[in-house]
Amino acid sequence: MNRKFVLMVSLLLFPVFAYARASSKQIKLVDYFLKTPTKNLNPDLVPDFLAVGEKNLPRSLRQGYVSKVMELYALRDVARGKKEGLVRTPNDSSPSCREFHIRKGIRMYSSMFSKPLFQGKDIPGIIRLLHMAYFSEISSDYLPCVKKRTQCTQRDMVCDFTLTILSIKKGKRRAYRYFIYQNDPLGAVSSLCSHPGLGKNTNFFGGKPSVLCSH
């Protein structure tokens, strides 16, 4: 991954979108971002891309735009985490963990995303965006294994990694779905938990976690 690109993304904050129809130049810029692999993008153009805003674009570009924004935020968080190294020391008082309501009955837990990215989306639409942004769904069955191997709490995984939780109200109960960005080191741990046989063949999967949490 281009170092300059990662640095640019790592410094970004959530933009405040002003509603104004995108110019032809902005539409060309968005088209360039959607058609170019992320690692090949010009980092100098990232701020201009984020400043466009979903609502200012033609409908045909909105879904792709939002998914690319989500990918850039995930990349930023992974880059920040790599600077901390193997052992992370989560800040239990950090306000960076967000819970927000998208619509009636639907909540999200994330350290990266904000409500406007999902506003107006239904559950299938939210899940489609996560998949387009290269988030993989993991089963709740494997979370205890991931916690044990990394010594990270679920809150740690949300606040200090890219774990994103979709909470869906069903009657008096809630169902939870869990998603992790593809380049997050937690993804490697999750793969080991779901495929224990991997540990028999390589040193990487031989019991040495790719990240640890220290409290």
CA atoms within 13 A on the CB side of 111: 25
Gap between the Cα atoms of 188 and 205, Å rounded: 8
Sequential pLDDT tens for the chain (215 residues) = 656 555 555 545 445 445 579 999 999 999 999 999 999 999 999 999 999 999 999 999 999 999 999 999 999 999 988 888 888 888 766 665 788 999 889 999 999 898 989 988 999 999 999 999 999 999 999 999 999 999 999 999 999 999 999 999 999 899 999 999 999 999 989 988 987 665 554 444 344 557 889 87
Model pLDDT, residue 203: 42
Give residue limits of the domains in the chain. 3-191+209-213
The count of other CB atoms within 10 Å of the CB of residue 144 is: 10
Model pLDDT, residue 211: 87
Model pLDDT, residue 26: 97
What are the DSSP E strand ranges found in 50-97? 87-88
Gap between the Cα atoms of 22 and 48, Å rounded: 12
DSSP tally for the chain: helices H, then strands E: 8, 7
Model pLDDT, residue 33: 97
Gap between the Cα atoms of 165 and 173, Å rounded: 16
